[in-house]
Structure 1
Amino acid sequence: MTFMRVCVLGAGVIGLTTAWELAQRGYEVAVVDRRREPAAETSFANGAQLSYAFVAPLASPETLRKIPGLLLSSAAPVRIRPTLDPDFIRWGLRFLAACNNRMVAETTRAQLALSALSRGALAELAQREALSFGLRTAGKIVLHRTRSSFDAARQQVARQATLQNAEGQQVLTASECLELEPALEIHPNEFAGAIYTPTEQIGDCRLFCQELAVRLQQQPNVTWQLGTHVRKLVMRANRVSGIETSQGVIETNLVVLTLGSAAARFAKFAGFGLPVYPMKGYSITARFASGAQALQHSVTDLNQKIVYAPLKEGYKDMVRVAGIADLVGFDSDIDHRRLTGMMRQAAKFLSLDLESDVRPWAGLRPSTPDSRPIIGWSPISNLFLNTGHGALGWTLACGSARQAAQMIAGEQPAVDPRWFALERRS
Structure 2
Amino acid sequence: MKPDVDAMAAETERASEPSGLWLMIVLGTLLAFASISTDLYLPAMPAMSVALAASQGTLQYTVSGYLIGFSVGQLFWGPIADRYGRRIPIAIGLVLFMAGSAGCALSTDVVQLISCRVLQAVGACASVVLARATVRDLYGRDRSAGVLSTLMTVMAVAPLLGPSIGSLILKVAPWQAIFWTLVLIGLLTLAALFTLPETLPRERRNVEPLSTAFAAYGSLIGDVRLLGYAGAVGFFYAGVFAGISGSSFAYIDYHHLSPQLYGLVFAVGTIGLMATNFANSRLVTRFGGDRMLKLGTIGAAVAGAILAFVTATDFGGVLGMALSLWLFTAMNGFVTANAISGALADFPVRAGAVSALMGAIQYGSGVVGSAVAGTFADGTPWPMGWVIAIAGIGSLGCAHLVGLQSRQLG
Q: Output the TM-score relative to the length of structure 1.
A: 0.23
Structure number with higher strand proportion: 1
TM-score, normalised by the number of residues in structure 2: 0.24
